[in-house]
Structure 1
């Protein structure tokens, strides 16, 4: 009997027809202007004014596109953070600004002389004033007793090195460091701290390392369709797949700028069948292969050196011949052919090239490439705004925010100028990881939560920009205002006062509390497992015996212990490192370290006051100093296992500079009386032990990098003399 006329069959047919009609229905205007929305009519979405607004000469405003339903995590994060908007405008005045009496806390006597100059006042310019010894300085005037004039906010380490108290320390150690020039630190701060002043600074070699011939050799097709065998005959189909998997299982989870499914299904098979040309797909493929080789060698390659039997955390290749160089050089040969293309592939090429330069310890090249990626992104959005409603819109947004995060890092720490990308934030919108979704990405997201990490990094970056604007006295109108293109590091802002900093710290703590459950951790336990529940993580995945990030990486034998480790990160650099697939430890370490960096940064004005105006310190100031010092301790990026594969850590120079600054400040807490008292009375019982471990971690970081990183070499020379260390 034919049951096609049955009610159930009719219901299914009706449902299928409705679904078909929905698929064929044209796209609804997702970015209709406010005028058309209020009139409930179709908007042609023209920019800067739609047809209706042009016709009636009305103001045309577009709302920020809302994320799709798939992006529930990002929506939740952003909605919670946006609830903090408007609070910055109300930050004024001082609360609870009671005088700080060291005798009440039993820290030290109030008449203890300070070991450094206390005369520096905000009326002077750091960049224009010459350093004076302490005995030649004048004490602060009584008219400054309000205390607010003694705070100074600077965002970079090289600016902090200009503080008179630190200049005095540098003057004391200068005879032991012939390469240290105080005037050059003041004049050429970013260049000095990047090590770009070294005569030996050179770019990556252009020569290609020969690869032994093997089966399945590939052919490179030039534009004339003439085939020639390239010197990469070992790049067979299996190798291409393994390198691609290593890239997508590690690096693309930290920098999600490529679509795994499209690359593996379309790009890879097409290139293997038709050969490599000078097109953008071939360029991207070689960059993926190069970074895949970095992912493998950077995790499991041979250490470049050892110190007292401890293997280096820099693995694979050398400074002159880093992993993946032959693949990268093949990509470099082709990049010029597509230099001015206004396409997503153009953005991806420059972004991937910048990542590779970062893994090879070339910060200036990294900056140049990320700048080109940002400019290419602006060109794409400006010339083809309709791309933001195309199937590739989410990839564009992911590339956009990757560039934005990197630009913010470079601007705040090195004062490198912004490209203007930040002005497009509202128009571009937020990524939601929509589109074709591969099974491998689903598994990696289940294990590492890389989408939530990326979304949380975006929000943290926005908060950091707001904090920077507020403390820099730029008076932003929104909690998500862009970083100014330039700022005067020597000029104090009226926004720098205890009340403001307290409110900013509260917002930062709220951000941490609003993180998705798998990303949360306890404030005073930076090395703990997320959500303080190691049992929630698979013992087979999160152990030395867990699966490798690539089939080409051998599995490390598990230790005798059968229980999950109590901590995700450890300060014991001699213990066998744990293994976390999908770059989980890097993602977690980055998020937490950037959180502690932000907290350390916004509290640093209290340290300036303690060093230069101790007579006007209040109890609240002392608490702020303690918070700054505690936030500088044990950043997970410097702990094991993350520090054991440094090639895979983004923006190494950013952390190296901050580790030097923290080492200097921790040294001053043992020599400056007021800091000694605050450390003893307000930093807690664990501080001394944590500080010792922190010094050990940061010193080891600089010592490990000094042979391959010009910036770390300069940092190491200074830290070595201050702490009287052996080579």
Structure 2
């Protein structure tokens, strides 16, 4: 487990609790000097490691510029403080621009470049619909045409506002159906939530939920407050799990309505409760999880965007951040990033706080093994998101690219952009991806990608997976997706190299890696084993296959 510390730049407290008299949920996040465990690095060493990774990319960039004999114009407005030297932000897409080469290394930490890496605020072109602009596509689509997905999502009919109960709770006409809930039924639904959704998204503290939140909601007979609202959303998510686990009585008529009665009661309650506080953030993130399970993209973005904006207000106002606040910050950041990776919705800007935000504490010695694994999984997701943002920034940033012919913006979908990507940069990003994989703790590790894995794709079988298999599978899906994104320029070159241009063995191998990794990402997501609504980030899982077939669905070149 110690190896994962390479990707975390915060050293955990010596103990899981700062004060034995206070619960874990109310401990504070702070930078504490501790004796590092075997293979763990100090804060300075961790920061140095991340800095060296960025500087290595800068060295590769300068080397590529010198070899190509190209000169790069300095960009302005990127320095973090007035009066600082303003260096051109690195991107292999800028190789064709003119001007003076900036050989000075890109500043590390608290710079515009790093902030934009973390925030994912710039537009990029990895979402599947942007592949339709490739020359091999039979569809000729303009930039406005590419917004068809956004238009479809925002114009979808709203979810039903019905608060009808599940079949097993249908009450007499004058009685509230919540009053007919047995404790055993509440226990089934809450346990279903914590067994399935909780391990991969630690929005709630499980022990505090049962000892404080649930107990208060039951004692007050679900009076309108944050406790009742939270329990109702948890029950809505638990209903989905219970329904697909054989408890079909938790449907109120059809699959689309599973959990909807609980959820709409919670939504009605939340409209009167919502404030700029952490309780509201918690409820919004849970609601975003429900919308995601229902594949309601726009609704999920709205809930998560509102949570991110609220967090952006709360964080600067806190003198000290409690552990749970740090947890909610990173969950909101990850949830928003997943949607922005697929759709061109506006970003909240929450990521601009990420470089100064403590990571969730690493579980200490003696921590519950299951909770420790969930926390390490969460830390691995954060580090993967930072790496993915780095990949997007260096290979696919669309706002920074200029057409050297006329100085106008050039999209990364265009030939000049894809063909200008340096193989050295792709190699370094792939090396960092493999380093992330090798640092995963025991129980979450998996082998590197190989073409032999394609022959081992399992048959479609809705058999379900254990919690450990689901967590490991999602990390594998993220890994394969990142590898496919890194190697995607090889697909473009393979499809568009022309009759007179030669295609090297390295180019062909890179294209095979991109396609094979994309396929393995879909397989690892669990889509062959579980209903789509039970997957982590099902929106991304159902969209990922489009990225595999779109480029060559209308061509026989590949």
Does the alignment reach a TM-score above 0.5? Answer: yes
Query: Residues 520 and 475 of structure 1: is their aligned pair in 2 closer, same or farther, counting only changes over 3 Å?
Result: farther
* Paired residue secondary structure (1:357): helix
Name structure 1 gaps, 5 residues minimum: 1-21, 25-29, 32-63, 98-121, 124-152, 171-181, 218-227, 304-314, 477-485, 529-566, 676-727
Map of 1:67-78 to 2, 5 A cutoff? none
- CA RMSD, aligned part only? 4.2
User: Which residue number in structure 2 is paired with residue 293 of structure 1?
Assistant: 239
2:392 corresponds to 1:468: yes
* Partners of 2:241 and 2:534 within 8 A in 1: yes
Offset of residue 68 of structure 1 = 8.4
Indicate the larger mover: 345-354 or 647-656.
647-656
Deviation at 1:73, TM superposition (A): 11
Q: 2:302 aligns with which of 362, 368, 371?
A: 368
Quote the Cα distance in structure 2 between the aligned partners of 1:324 and 1:74: 46
Q: Would you say 1:518 and 2:404 are equivalent positions?
A: no
User: 1:221 matched to which residue of 2?
Assistant: none
Q: Does 1:157 align with 2:143?
A: no
- Report how far residue 468 of structure 1 moved: 0.9
Runs of 4+ in structure 1 deviating by more than 6 angstroms, as ranges, are: 67-78, 212-215, 315-320, 525-528
Q: Which residue of 1 aligns with 2:425?
A: 500
Alpha-carbon separation, structure 1, partners of 2:450 and 2:348: 37
Task: Give, in angstroms, the shift of residue 495 of structure 1.
Answer: 7.2
SS at match of 1:402: helix
Report the equivalent of 1:326. Answer: 261
Q: Give the 3-state SS of the residue equivalent to 2:165 in structure 1.
A: coil
1:528-560 per-residue CA deviation (whole Å, 9 max, x = no partner) reads 9xxxxxxxxxxxxxxxxxxxxxxxxxxxxxxxx
| TM value normalised by structure 1 | 0.56
Paired residue secondary structure (1:414): coil
Q: 1:352 aligns with which of 274, 286, 311?
A: 286
Partner of 1:595: 479
Match of 1:206 in 2: 161
Is the 1:244–1:292 Cα contact (8 Å) retained in structure 2? yes
Match of 1:408 in 2: 337
Identify unmatched segments of 5+ residues in structure 2: 1-18, 22-26, 68-92, 95-123, 401-408
CA distance in 2, matches of 1:600, 1:645: 24
CA distance in 1, matches of 2:374, 2:206: 14
Inter-partner Cα distance in structure 2 for 1:527 and 1:271: 53
In the alignment, the residues of structure 2 paired with residue 451 and residue 526 of structure 1 have an alpha-carbon distance, to the nearest angstrom, of: 31
For residues 613 and 316 of structure 1, do their structure 2 counterparts lie closer, same or farther at Cα, with a shift above 3 Å needed?
farther
Q: How many angstroms apart in 2 are the aligned matches of 1:454 and 1:243?
A: 24
Counterparts of 1:70-149 in structure 2 under 5 Å? 79=46, 82=50, 84-92=53-61, 93=63
SS in 2 for 1:518: coil
Looking at structure 1, the residues matched to 369 and 343 of structure 2 have their Cα atoms a distance apart, in angstroms, of: 37
Cα displacement (A) at 1:249: 1.7
Work out whether residues 469 and 475 of structure 1, in 8 Å CA contact, stay in contact via their aligned partners in 2: no
3-state secondary structure, aligned to 1:336: helix
- CA distance in 1: counterparts of 2:284 and 2:36, whole angstroms: 27
Per the TM alignment, residue 588 of structure 1 is displaced from its structure 2 partner at its CA by 1.8
Q: Deviations over 1:163-218 (max 9, x none)?
A: 1102x2x5xxxxxxxxxxx54x7524243388438x7x312111122357879x9x
Native 8 Å contact 1:470 1:495 kept in 2 = no
Compared CA separation, residues 467 and 271, structure 1 to 2 (3 A) = same
Q: Is the CA contact (8 Å cut-off) linking 1:597 and 1:631 kept in structure 2?
A: yes
Please, what TM-score do these two structures have when normalized by structure 2? 0.72
1:295 and 1:656, CA in 2 relative to 1: closer, same or farther beyond 3 A?
A: same
Higher Rg: 1
> 1:394 touches 1:431 (CA, 8 Å); kept in 2?
yes
